[in-house]
Amino acid sequence: MENPKRTLEPRPVTFRCEWCGAESTEMRMPGPTPRYHTECKQPAQNSIAASRMRDMRQRKADQNPFAPKRPRGRPPGSIKNQAT
């Protein structure tokens, strides 16, 4: 097997878009399989960012001063010591 030059050339990659669910083949550079179509990537990323913001807002709303907290009575070093 000869491999004189490792050229990075776009090659057809078949994948299922997580945004629209359609399977398609696109010319892509070698690397991890794409998750979205070129045209689906932007709305998908916007959606991810929006849902992340929603999560953050939700988490803030859930913060209740009367909610149970982490178990107390453990010295701060004990967590680190558990690893050994």
Write out the residues near Zn ion by the rule CB under 5 A: 17, 19-20, 37, 40
Q: Kindly tell me which of 2 and 23 has the beta carbon lying closer to Zn ion.
A: 23
Q: Which two three-digit tokens encode residue 34? A: 């794409």
Q: Kindly tell me which of 24 and 58 has the beta carbon lying closer to Zn ion.
A: 24
Q: Kindly tell me which of 13 and 20 has the beta carbon lying closer to Zn ion.
A: 20
- In terms of phi and psi (left: phi > 0; alpha: psi -120 to 50; beta: otherwise), the region of 62 is alpha
Q: How far is the CB of 21 from Zn ion (least distance, A)?
A: 7
d(CA 33, CA 18): 12
